[in-house]
């Protein structure tokens, strides 16, 4: 096979301040075979005006109300025609021009890799060049799901056929839909994964999963629910103990 097509999905709602930066980081990628899907939740802040300016560069643009971020992602996956699915949220951007090339070339050259992931850097909006937390997916192993440890979801790229086989994101979870999907794909169905030791995505702190103590409590409640539903033994002691492992992300 000479190439694979990536279906890259961006979901957005009222992100007029950041969506153009996200789109431009996609357009700057050197990999040529990208189907770009943008799902807007009927934004009211000027986001749709920005999207219209880039519509010729967007393969599919949906703008309608949704039932939350996971519902919006699922809309994108359902219309995707590419060989591989990836997600880039509206507060995120690629760390360099060759991120997609690195990902897709590995998948092209390694047919035994079902999915891969890498690293994420978190920054403050007012200091976008200063990394304050570095999330390396190297700490991941399927046995660590019981601690709430998963790969960096913004760097997760997977062959589309596995979404068809194993299902999409759960929409009944507010903040742990990505944890559930990664647990199903990597922990339950044991897809063959590869860790690419590279910085792939830079994201702003302050989203649902990085929003302080409230989001931390909710993440752990939902993670425990997911683990219990999949029959994986865990406890709040296990889930909160992961922060002792993850503290190195700040150094």
> Which alpha helices (H) appear in the chain, and where do they start and end?
19-27, 47-53, 69-79, 99-109, 160-166, 177-182, 213-229, 236-246
User: Which has more confidence, 77 or 208?
Assistant: 77
pLDDT at 208 over 80: no
Long-range contacts of 65-70 (CB under 8 A, 24+ apart): 65/41, 66/39, 66/41, 67/171, 68/171, 68/174, 69/11, 69/177, 69/208, 70/169, 70/170, 70/171, 70/173, 70/177
Domain boundaries, the chain: 6-250
Mean pLDDT value of segment 239-246: 65
Per-residue pLDDT of 73-130, as tens digits, reads: 999 999 999 999 999 999 999 999 999 999 999 999 999 999 999 999 999 888 888 8
Per-residue pLDDT of 129-158, as tens digits, reads: 889 999 999 999 999 999 899 999 999 999
For domain 6-250, which CATH number applies: 3.30.1950.10, 3.40.190.10, 3.90.105.10, 3.90.550.10?
3.90.550.10
């Amino acid at each position: 096979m000479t190439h694979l097509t990536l279906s890259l999905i961006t979901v957005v709602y009222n992100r007029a301040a950041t969506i153009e930066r996200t789109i431009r980081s996609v357009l700057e990628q050197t990999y040529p075979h990208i189907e770009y899907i943008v799902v807007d939740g009927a934004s009211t802040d000027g986001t749709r005006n920005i999207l219209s300016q880039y519509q010729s560069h967007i393969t599919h643009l949906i703008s309608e109300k949704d039932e939350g971020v996971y519902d919006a992602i699922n809309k994108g996956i359902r219309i995707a025609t590419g060989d591989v699915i990836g997600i880039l949220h509206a507060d995120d951007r690629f760390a360099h021009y060759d991120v997609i090339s690195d990902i897709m070339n590995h998948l092209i050259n390694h047919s035994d890799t079902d999915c891969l992931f890498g690293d994420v850097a978190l920054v403050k909006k007012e200091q976008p060049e200063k990394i304050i937390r570095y999330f390396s997916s190297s700490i991941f192993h399927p046995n660590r799901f019981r601690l709430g440890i998963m790969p960096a979801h913004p760097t997760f790229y997977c062959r589309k056929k596995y979404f068809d086989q194993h299902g999409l994101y759960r929409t009944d979870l507010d903040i742990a839909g990505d944890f559930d999907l990664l647990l199903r794909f990597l922990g339950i169905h044991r897809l063959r994964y590869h860790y690419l030791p590279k910085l792939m995505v830079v994201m702003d702190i302050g989203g649902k999963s990085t929003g302080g103590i409230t989001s931390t409590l909710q993440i752990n409640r939902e993670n425990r629910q997911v683990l219990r539903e999949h029959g994986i033994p865990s406890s709040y002691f296990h889930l909160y103990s992961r922060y002792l492992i993850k503290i190195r992300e700040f150094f």
